[in-house]
Structures are given as structure tokens and as C-alpha cells.
Amino acid sequence: MDKKFGFSIWYFIIAFWGIILLQEIYLASQHLDEVPYSQFKVWVLEDKVAEVAITDTLINGKLKPNVQEDGLKEKWFKTIRVDDPDLVRLLEEKNVEFSGVIVSTLWKDVASWVIPILIFGAIWFFILRKVGQGAGGSFMRIGQSKAKVYMEKDIPVGMKDVAGVDEAKDELLEVIEFLQTPEKFTRIGGRIPKGVLLVGPPGTGKTLLARAIAGEAAVPFFSISGSEFVEMFVGVGAARVRDLFEKAKGKAPCIIFIDELDALGKARGSGPMVHEEREQTLNQLLVEMDGFDPRVGVIILAATNRPEILDQALLRAGRFDRQVLVDRPDRSGRKAILEIHVKVVKLADDVTLEKIAAMTPGMVGADLANVINEGALLAVRRNRETVGQADLEEAVERVVAGLEKKSRVLNKEERTRVAHHEVGHALVAMMIPGSDPIQKISIIPRGIAALGYTMQLPTEDRYLLTESELESKIAILLGGRVAEELIFGEASTGASDDLQKATNIAKRMIKNYGMSEKLGTVALDPSGPSTFLTPNDHAPRDTYSEETAREIDQEVRRLIDSQQARVQSLLRQVKPVLIQGAEQLLADEVMSGESLQELLRLNEPPTITVST
Ligand code: ADP
Ligand code: MG
Ligand code: ZN
């Protein structure tokens, strides 16, 4: 509608000018012979002129029928009008029929004020349109949500297109089930999750998963990105949220998907500037989430790769109360993802995706899709009909080079070392009674800092830790480094973070908790109580003597040394398990605590003596 309107204004302006121009041209170009004004005046005086038509610039005249003048082909002539106040009187006197042709001047008068108005109007109109586009969409519809409504037939993505994130898939299948048969859940009074938050590193397939759920459940899918809500006009984002929920409720059962929730859900009042607009939008979202009944069958999905900056209010019960971790895929997961993406390319017979998967620890789905694409491009460049193993391997190198800054892909020796290190931590934890059970061991790199990790799951919340428990923590932290020394004969830089943590614990034990016999039950840390393991940065200067400081250092060293000796003896007893476990971890990249425990049991270690 606005486009047509824009055109018509221009047509109007052009037509206007056209008419005026034509009129001028017509009057000026009637191929009349031009005579000087003085000549014209003489003719009038001689009673030779029958009629004249006067415009503001010209006078057109017609001679009387019986008059014949040399040089005039016709009776009509024209002359340039001069400012002659006597002319009218003269014409009246001589009985010449005269008329002013005022049409032209009228048009000009009108044009002189209409055209500027039209031009300004047009400029204003285009500026508004630009502004409207900048804010996304037409100015007139600014409060409305731009959320695209995908109907089920528009989503060609299903769960079969997502791989390597099985745990997330399982959890989300429940959401699909709910959307398809809500009665099943509501009949027994179960509370359906209102909001499900997909959390994971970029490129792991969160957006893909959300679309797959909608595709699988065959329900309408309203998707919008968090950044789209945040507008330059205060109140617009809030209006959009309202509108989005309004629309969705009309289409239930359906899914609302808010991608990149962090753009919108950043903790309120954080950052250097309080962002009024975002805050209003977030508040509106909270209000809408509280205000609707999940039984109508609207599920809100959201995705973020920075859950830590989200406003706590968003994560409360009744809002995004369920969080689904979409983690980096392990080796078999990567193979499955590769299998999905190679469907669109022609593969040579020599391709073993297994090997590509083994080469790409730490890569996410988006990277793997990129590898296949790069491989296809390389094959084309080499004029091959199919994509070969060599192409794919080179593609991996290229993608790795591009990723280098974001995350690291380790070489084989490094990975072997990391595997032994992590298994070392885990074995120590398993052999020390009373420590938290090992959940998962992984050598899938996460970012630059962590090359692998061992996940311990506390069985209960702890507020108090005993001396021996703290010592066990130190022992587990040392387990990685000791394992490296045991297998490779020397330690590596990979243990620096562990050492830092272990030393911190030891220092606190001595300075804060009075757990040193030598120094006695004295609190030596002037910073007073601070949370466990998080040293207080603004601590006042130490108040003890240099002598005491030296003793503290000695005690810390003694504590760590004794734990190191303990860990060395523990790991020496289970060296075969350490090697075997690391081999398995190297192959699978992740390992459950149970399977390592199983290895430990099978090896029947000699009775472990625990000395504390
Ligand atoms: P995120 O939203 O987590 O940043 P996307 O869903 O946008 O990641 O993923 C980008 C692309 O990477 C997808 O379109 C898909 O081609 C590919 N991809 C990512 N993860 C997977 C996966 N688990 N399985 C298959 N393809 C994936
Ligand atoms: Mg995404
Ligand atoms: Zn470690």
C-alpha cells in the first residue's frame, strides 16, 4: 500500500509540472509571427486589431478581417508584453475585444505553494519509511511483532536432522509428547513446563533443535530473536512481546521460540547503562510468562549460550524452569552429525567419517557442517566428481585454523596426556573414601582454558567440611599431575590450575581454619570470613610477622607434599587401570564414572591403605 502511494505522489507532481509546461509551450509556440510591441500599439491605434488575449508575458492579437499586413501569414500575431498601464484604456477606446488569459498565472500561483508542500511531503514520507525500516518493518506497524509464523508444513526439520546431542533430544521429546497429547499430562495433574531453556556453546544446534521440535510436533512455531525485541523506542519491545503472546495463544498448541535470549534477558540494572527499553521488554516477558496457563498448550523455548548473564527472574519456577544442556558432541556424536551433513554431497568410496570424527574433538555441529562444505569446495576446485577423504582431511585443517582462536584442537600426544591426567583425578577420587562420586570424565576441550574435565557430583549440599575432606580435595586435585608424572616421567603445564586450587585450599586450612598443629588453632587471615575457595581481593594487609609468614609457607608445602605422597602411592597401585582407563577415554572422549569404577573393580587392586 505505501509503495503505490509513494509512486502516485511522484506521478502527481510530474503531471502538475507537465500541465504547466505544456500550457506555456502551447501559448509560446503557436507559430505566430512576432511583432514588436510598438508595431502592435500602432495597429491598435490604426483600428486594425480585432481582439487580443493577454497573458502575463505575451499578448496574442488578431487583426480585423479586412486588414492585410505585409509579413504576416495569418491574422494572428504575438508580441512580448511590456508594462504599459495605458493599454487597457487604449483597447477600450478602440473597441478591441480583449481578455486576459489568467489560467496560466492561476496555475503558477497554485503551483508556487502546492509544489513545495508536495516536495516536503514526499521527503517526510520517505524519511518515515526509512525510520520504519531501520526499526524493522513499517513505521505504522511498529508495535506489532515481527515473529514469523511458521506453520507445520514450513518446517522441513525433524529430530532426524539433529545428532550428537542425545540427552537434550530425549528431554525435548517429552515436550513434543506434551504438545501432541496434552491430556495425558494434565489428567493426572502434572505440571507442564512453561519454559524450556536450551543452553550450550554456539553452533551446537540449539536453534536447529527448537525448529526440529516444532517440525516434529507439527505445531505452529513462532520464532523471534531476543535482539529483535530491543528497539530504539521505549515501549516498542514490550508491545511486541504482548503481541507475540497474543498471537500464540490464538494458535495453541504451539511453540514460541526466543533465540539468543541473553540479548533481552540480561540481568536488569547490569552494565554501565541502565537500558530502559530492554528492561521494559524483559518485564513484559516475565508478566506474560506468569500470566498464561500452560494448559492452553503454548510452550516457550529459548536458547542462549550465556546462561550466566541471564536475569535470575527468568530462571525461576514457572518461567524457564527447565534447562536443557546442548553440549559439544563426543566422537560418536560427531560421526552422526557428519553423516547427516554428507547426505547433500557425493562421497568417494575411500571416505571414512569415523576418522574425520576422530580428528575433530571439540568441534560443534556448525563446525562439522562447515568441514563438509569446505571439503566439497576443495573437491570442486580440484575438478573431482566426488569428495574424497583427502579433501575432507584438508577441510578439517582449514576449519581448525579458523577456529584456533576460539577453541583448541589438541594433537595426539597432548590428548594422550590429558586423558591420563583426567583419569588420574578420577581414580584418586574413587579410591579415597567419602569423596563425591565421579559423574563424567571428558577430554572434549571446552574453550581455551579447559582441555578436559572430570565432573564430580556432590551427593548433598555441604556447608561444613572436615579437615580430612579438605585434604581429600587437595589429593584429588593433585591426582592429574601425579598421573602425568607416573606415566610420562614428568608433569606438564596442564596442571597449573589444579595446583592453584590445591594451594588455595591448603592456605585456607592453615590461615583460616587453624588446621595446622605447628601454627596452632589461630586464624591468621585478617580478611575474615570469605567464601570457601574464593579469596577476598580487598583483604587488608597481613598482620602476622614475617616469621609466621615463613611458617605458613612451610606448612602449606608440608601439607601439599604429604598429599602428593599419598596420591603417588595410590596411583602406583592402580597403574594398569590408569593406562587402561586413559586408553578407553582417548577412544571415546567421554567416559562415565561407572565404567571407570568397573575397570577398577576388574583389576582387583590390592587392599588400599588410606593414610590421612
Ligand atoms: P546454535 O543455535 O546452537 O548456535 P545452530 O542450531 O544455529 O547452532 O547450528 C548451526 C548449524 O550447524 C545448523 O543449521 C546445522 O546445520 C549445524 N548443526 C549444529 N548442530 C548440529 C547437530 N547437533 N546436528 C546436526 N547439525 C548440526
Ligand atoms: Mg542459534
Ligand atoms: Zn586437572
pLDDT at residue 532, rounded to an integer: 45
Q: Is the pLDDT of residue 448 over 60?
A: no
- Please tell me the distance from the alpha carbon of residue 609 to that of residue 594, in angstroms, as a whole number: 22
pLDDT at residue 1, rounded to an integer: 43
- Please tell me the distance from the alpha carbon of residue 606 to that of residue 576, in angstroms, as a whole number: 12
- Best residue for ligand 1 mutational test, from 170, 172, 208 (most atoms within 8 Å of Cβ): 208
Q: What are phi and psi of 25, to 5 degrees?
A: -60, -40
CA of 161 to the centre of ligand 1 (A): 9
By mean pLDDT, which of 110-124, 161-175, 179-193 is the weakest? 179-193
What number of residues does the chain have? Answer: 612
Atom of ligand 1 nearest to the CA of 259: 2
Among candidate residues 374, 422, 471, 589, the one labeled active-site is 422
- The DSSP string of 391-418 is HHHHHHHHHHHHHTTTS----HHHHHHH
Taking CA atoms only, the protein residue closest to ligand 1 atom 27 is 365
Greater model confidence, 430 or 102: 430
pLDDT tier for residue 317 given thresholds of 50, 70 and 90: confident
CATH number for the segment(s) 331-401: 1.10.8.60
Give yes or no for a contact between 49 and 43, defined as CB atoms under 8 angstroms apart.
yes
CATH number for the segment(s) 148-325: 3.40.50.300
- Please tell me the distance from the alpha carbon of residue 409 to that of residue 447, in angstroms, as a whole number: 10
Fold of 9-103: 3.30.720
Taking the CA of 342 as reference, the closest ligand is: 1
Residue 555 annotated in active site:
no
Ligand 1 pocket check for 172: Cβ under 6 Å: no
- Please tell me the distance from the alpha carbon of residue 301 to that of residue 152, in angstroms, as a whole number: 16
Summarised one tens digit per residue, pLDDT across range 544-557 is 788 888 888 999 99
Give yes or no for a contact between 443 and 451, defined as CB atoms under 8 angstroms apart.
yes
pLDDT at residue 607, rounded to an integer: 57
Ligand 2 ion: Cβ-proximal residues, 5 Å cutoff = 207
Ligand 1 pocket check for 201: Cβ under 6 Å: no
- Percent of the chain at pLDDT > 90 equals 20
Taking CA atoms only, the protein residue closest to ligand 1 atom 17 is 366
Kindly state the greatest CA–CA separation across the chain.
145
Greater model confidence, 65 or 543: 65
Ligand 1 pocket check for 370: Cβ under 6 Å: no
- Please tell me the distance from the alpha carbon of residue 373 to that of residue 366, in angstroms, as a whole number: 11
Summarised one tens digit per residue, pLDDT across range 127-149 is 776 665 544 444 445 555 555 55
**Structural domain spans, the chain:** 9-103, 107-141, 148-325, 331-401, 412-602
The whole-chain average pLDDT of the chain stands at: 80
CA of 566 to the centre of ligand 1 (A): 46
Taking CA atoms only, the protein residue closest to ligand 1 atom 25 is 162
What CATH homologous superfamily does 412-602 map to? Peptidase M41 (1.20.58.760)
155 in the Ramachandran plot: left (φ > 0), alpha (ψ -120 to 50) or beta? beta
Q: Is the pLDDT of residue 606 over 60?
A: no
Summarised one tens digit per residue, pLDDT across range 568-596 is 999 999 999 999 999 999 988 888 889 99
pLDDT tier for residue 478 given thresholds of 50, 70 and 90: very high
Write down the residue that cell numbers 582431511 correspond to. 393
pLDDT at residue 430, rounded to an integer: 92
pLDDT tier for residue 368 given thresholds of 50, 70 and 90: very high
What residues have CB less than 8 Å from 172, skipping those under 6 apart? Answer: 196, 209, 213, 324
Assigned C-alpha cell, 96: 478591441
By mean pLDDT, which of 118-127, 367-376, 597-606 is the weakest? 597-606
Atom of ligand 1 nearest to the CA of 201: 3
CA of 411 to the centre of ligand 2 (A): 29
State the average pLDDT over residues 236-255.
Answer: 82
CA of 406 to the centre of ligand 2 (A): 17
